[in-house]
Amino acid sequence: MENNNTDKLIELMFKTFRLMKGEMCYTNRLTHLSVLQIHTLIFLRHNEKVTMSKIAEYFDIELSSATSLLNKLCDQELVERHGDKEDRRLVIVALTEKGKILLKQVMGQRKEKIEKVLLNLSKKERDELYNILKVLNLRLQKIK
């Protein structure tokens, strides 16, 4: 790819991501959680028997930062901690029912906002965007 096109692509990607971030902002009347806190709830929804270490590893943060992150979510009763039945040294983190309900509401609002943005694209354009994002995602996962 030519350097000039690469520069234009990078600039366009950052501009697009910034605009989409504003359009899909999580902070609203439902919650004042940070993006990292919302992503933690999403991670917990998709993973069972999650330890603090796994959360720290997944988000590439220090264990102390993961603990602080979870303390705030526990204070709001969105997640709970309990000991592992098989290994008492481990602390397992899980979504509470309140956390599941809030996450469902937030994700519903996010979906509505994304659908509103995507309505500006034709079906062909949405399909092309999906395919490009899918390929990019797969290739980025291989880099990690």
For residue range 89-123, list pLDDT tens digits in order. 888 999 999 999 999 998 888 888 888 888 999 99
- Enclosing H/E stretch for 79: strand 79-83
* CATH fold for domain 3-103: Arc Repressor Mutant, subunit A (1.10.10)
pTM of the model: 0.75
What are the extents of the domains in the chain? Answer: 3-103
As a whole number of angstroms, the distance between CA 142 and CA 140 comes to 5
Residues 78, 96: contact at Cβ < 8 Å?
A: yes
Residues 56, 65: contact at Cβ < 8 Å?
A: yes
Q: Is 61 helix (H, G, I), strand (E, B) or coil?
A: coil
As a whole number of angstroms, the distance between CA 103 and CA 30 comes to 10
86 confidence band (pLDDT: 50, 70, 90): confident
- Enclosing H/E stretch for 106: helix 97-118
